[in-house]
Structure 1
Amino acid sequence: MHKQYTSVSPTDDISVKTENGPQQKKRRYIRKEGSCNVVFRHVPEEWLLFVTDIFTTLVEIRWRVMFLIFALSYILSWLFFGILYWVIALAHGDTKNNTSPCVYEVRSFTAAFLFSLETQTTIGYGFRGMSENCMIAIIVVTIQDVISCFIDTFVIGIVVAKMASARKRAQTVGFSNCAVINLRDGYLCLSWRIGDFRRNHLVEGTARAQIVHSTMHATGKIDITYEDMVIQQRDIVLVTPTTIFHRIEPGSPLYSMSLVDLRKADFELVVSFTYTDDSTGMLHQTRTSYTPAEILWGQLFQEMIRVSRRHYRVDYTLFNHTAKVLVPEVSAEDYELKKQLRPSPRHSPRHSPRSSPRPSPRSQRQNHHEKLLTPPKVTVELVTDSHPEPTVSTSQAENQHQDTLSLPNDLTSTEI
């Protein structure tokens, strides 16, 4: 195997010496599942912002918190209107066996709470009911019915929006656990794989990648910079798992980075895929990140698509599987420079028509004159025959040889 090439495993121990000793492991900027590893502190008027956009707040909170809030909203409304009915019963004297009460069969606070619950949930057991003797009680029942409709609508809308959230659909579109670097069409390329695990496929999608650098200064200041990466064929239809690749060429953040430089580099590759679902028509986004330890040098994703008689079969057990390939350890910049300096066997200087000088007319005339001065070459073949040869005189034999070896003037420059 040539010294320039090697197959590297992610578990291989490659010693990298740094000037400041071992580097401290940094936190991820984007977690593997796609959530941001960012916590906000001391936000001005934070509670006011959450209350102002209460719908988005309830959609983003966890299910157990949402169920607790909705249960409390019903219970507190029943309790509030039950207190109102109890106050009305006390003021009207319904607890003292009044013959014309505002609410029938409401003589205690428990009965008032049950009447509020039955009114808001429209149970109607038949024991308790309103009478036309008290207008204030009729107004309270009307207000409670209207508020009950608003609570039911709000709860149903929040539950539907939370179930159809883009985060749940994003969990069915996944990235590979690692990214790989290998040769593709003679160029070093960084690639990763993305696939849709559901049968209802996406309408269209756009892939994007950025390099995120976080630099910490001695004063404690942290600078976060972003570098966009050019992706070939970024607009795709995700019917089958697709390998997205970035060609490491001039202008790429990885152009001057070799294997050793990659192992001691400090950055984070953030990739995302924005797409439209064909079932709901909603816009979703799935994202993840790769650290330099998760970028495998000299690896290639295994093929997971097979063609049968009637279908294309996709084996998702090979989604994260890679195989070792021969890849130069040098950077893409050094690799391109070595390719330019390497002579091509098809265009050697000895055989190239452009490398040899074109003969001048004067030299062509000299070569033609030299060919005319060279004596002709004659090939004589001796044939033995069993038949007796006729006797020929010496003079006739000499004349015969002279006739045989004489050549015309116009054939002096050819070979016989």
Structure 2
Amino acid sequence: MVLHGAIEMSPERDSIINTQETFIPRARASKGRAARRQRYIQKDGHCNIAFQQTSGNWGHYMVDIYTTLVEIRWRIMFLVFFLAYIMSWLIFGLLYWLIAHVHGDLGEPNEAPCVANVHSFTGAFLFSMETQATIGYGFRGMTENCMVAIVVVTVQDVLSCFIDTAIIGVVIAKMACARKRAHTVSFSKCAIINLQNGALCLQWRVGDFRGNHIQEGEAQGQLVHHRLLPTGEVILSHQDLKLQCKSITLATPASVVHKIDCDSPLYSLSPQALAEEDFELVVSFTYTDDSVGMLRQTRASYTPEEIRWGQHFQDMLRLGRKHYHVDYSLFHQTTWVQVPMMSAQERDRNRGLPHNGESVAPVMRRKIQTCQREKSDTLVLEEAWL
């Protein structure tokens, strides 16, 4: 049986489609619209947003300096730490030089110097670096003749502990950042629309490419509409998609399913109308990693050109003798299936089902009358038989 308005099957369409490499021809929006469209979320999950800061807002970043250091790039972070060490050595070296200058240790050798063998700023800088790095004094060393110098050495030792602790904490936090783990939890390159239990459904795939399993996770989907006003103002509207199963245990790759019914924002979209739409499907998966117990999130997005109508994801799971086998080489691959080339609203109308704006009462009334007529016919037959 061939569905009305469905995609015609052929040997060419039966072949496997690799959505990572294969270009699938389809109707495209106009060049003007495509040129104006900007992704809200990149495919790798990063927000395509650039903030323009005013001169007075940098203080907020300095108040939360730890988060700022974790979020900046590695090369900038190493530059900040390098400057922190150099500046601390210079500042305390200058203090030791001033102490030696006031105490008279820079000229003729003093019988009771504050710092032994510090006769210039270079010597004071080297003594500061040796003190903070705890590499041992050797030729230069602290004496008990100046209480001020002893206090400065104590302050430098305490400050060096804070600097070392901050550097170690930031490096560990940056290495354990959720962005790196998010690369191993990935979404399919495209979303698909096909029939599931007789209803049109939107699907995308999520999988964990690591061997360790995710304890629990929650999938979400949202339509983001871009609207550009004649005044130049950009308005973003968000519509949540109702998913059939949000909670997922990602031991094996799973398909996230959204049923296109009368409550779906995709209810009136046909394949032709979908190609002309200007929206973005933003998907996310929030989960708890069983390795470190941290809450993390992976994001991706699909444009209308990346939503394939009439395709089905390749089966990845196979049952072996002792284990379930998952073939991740099929993660992005799809095949053609028979799907009506019409919107869910038009399909429901052809089937006599209610759609948006239509009351359910006439349909229910027709069903009740049919049941009563069938019941009365049954009674007549029973009476005639008796």
Rounded Cα–Cα distance in structure 2 between residues aligned with 1:266 and 1:189: 20
Distance across 2 between alignment mates of 1:30 and 1:106: 59
Secondary structure of the 2:351 match is helix
1:356/1:24 CA distance change after superposition, 3 Å? farther
Q: Aligned partners of 2:173, 2:26: CA distance in 1, in Å? A: 49
Amino acid at match of 1:32: K
Inter-partner Cα distance in structure 2 for 1:27 and 1:64 = 29
Residue 107 (structure 2) pairs with residue 75 (structure 1): no
1:233 positional shift: 1.1
Partner of 1:293: helix, strand, or coil? helix
Cα drift, residue 45 of structure 1: 2.4
TM-score by length of 2: 0.86
The Cα of 1:337 is off from its aligned counterpart by: 2.2
Letter of the 1:53 counterpart: D
Higher Cα Rg, which structure: 1
Aligned pair 1:11/2:24, yes or no?
A: yes
Give the aligned partner of residue 266 of structure 2: 254
User: How far apart, CA to CA, are the structure 1 residues paired with 2:170 and 2:138?
Assistant: 33
In 2: Cα distance, 1:245 partner to 1:305 partner: 18
* Aligned: 1:115 with 2:127: yes
What is the CA-CA distance between 1:172 and the residue it aligns to?
1.3
The change in CA–CA distance for 1:263 and 1:115 in structure 2 (over 3 A counts) is same
Alignment of 1:208 with 2:220, yes or no, is yes
For 1:197, the equivalent position in structure 2 comes to: 209
1:102 and 2:114 are equivalent in the alignment: yes
Change (3 A) 1:92 1:21: closer
Identity %: 53
Matched residue type, 1:89? A
Local SS of the residue matching 1:98: coil
> What letter corresponds to residue 57 of structure 1 in structure 2?
T
Q: Within 5 Å, which residues of 2 pair with 1:51-200?
A: 51-95=62-106, 96-200=108-212
Deviates most, 262-271 or 40-49? 40-49
Distance between the aligned counterparts of 1:173 and 1:98, measured in 2?
68
Q: Can you give the 5+ residue segments of structure 1 that lack an aligned partner in the other structure? A: 342-348, 369-416
Change (3 A) 1:14 1:279: closer
Tell me if 1:338 matches 2:339.
Answer: no
Paired position in structure 2 for 1:35: 46
The answer for the alignment partner of 2:320 in structure 1 is: 308
Secondary structure of 2:352's counterpart equals helix
In 1, Cα distance between equivalents of 2:146 and 2:349: 96
Q: Which consecutive unaligned segments of at least 5 residues does structure 2 have?
A: 18-22, 354-369
How far, CA to CA, are the matches of 1:210 and 1:360 in structure 2?
Answer: 56
Q: TM-score, normalised by structure 1?
A: 0.80
Partner secondary structure for residue 322 of structure 1: strand
Letter in 1 for 2:25: D
RMSD of equivalent CA atoms: 2.4
Q: Deviations over 1:101-146 (max 9, x none)?
A: 1111111211111111110011114211111111111111011001
| Runs of 4+ that moved beyond 3 A | 7-10, 13-16, 20-25, 352-361
Counterpart Cα distance in 2 of 1:113 and 1:22? 63
Where in structure 2 are the equivalents of 1:266-415 lying within 5 Å?
266-340=278-352, 353-354=374-375, 356=377, 358-359=379-380
Are the structure 2 counterparts of residues 185 and 111 from structure 1 closer, same or farther at C-alpha, using a change threshold of 3 Å? same
- Given residue 118 of structure 1, which amino acid in structure 2 is its aligned partner? E
Of 56, 67, 76, 1:45 maps to: 56
Name which structure has the greater RCO, CA cutoff 8 Å, separation 6+: 2
How many Å separate the matches in 2 of 1:129 and 1:15?
77
Whole-angstrom CA distance in 2 between matches of 1:207 and 1:22 = 30
